[in-house]
Amino acid sequence: MRDTLKILLAKARLDDAAAVNSLLLPIKDYVNLTSMFSERRSGLSYAYEEDARVGRFIASNGVTVMSFSVTAITREEAASIALECERIAVWGMYEIRKAADRALGAPVEE
């Protein structure tokens, strides 16, 4: 069993360009996300930062965008979480916590 996971959440309305840009700032390659947001499409994308060991998961329902950052994980763990996230129908903190738990079998820090 691994240490407790830490998940950080940020949420913005797609019509708030400054807030959306601040969510995208930490993600190095977000070109696919900008087209998803500008077309107001629902979807999920993720990126992994090797140096920081952070998985960033971006979900949009066409109106809002949510960014979930999971710290202290490996690239493989981020991919497993992303796979679990594909099962989420309605996005929220509870759902991402459950996806991370299913993927890694770890309790999540409050």
Q: Average per-residue pLDDT in the chain?
A: 83
Span 31-82, pLDDT tens digits: 667 677 777 777 888 889 999 999 999 888 888 888 899 999 999 999 999 9
As a whole number of angstroms, the distance between CA 24 and CA 72 comes to 20
Which residue, chain included where needed, has tokens 């087209």? 35
For residue 110, pLDDT over 60 is answered with no
- Cα angle for residues 44, 110, 28 (degrees, 5° grid): 35
Which pTM was predicted?
0.81
pLDDT band of 1, cuts 50, 70, 90: very low
Which residue, chain included where needed, has tokens 């981020």? 78
Q: Tally the residues of the chain.
A: 110
Q: Which residues contact 70 (CB under 8 A, 6 or more apart)?
A: 5, 6, 7, 54, 55, 57, 77, 78, 81, 100
Contact 41, 62 (CB under 8 A): yes
User: What are the structural domain ranges in the chain?
Assistant: 7-104
State the pLDDT at residue 36: 72
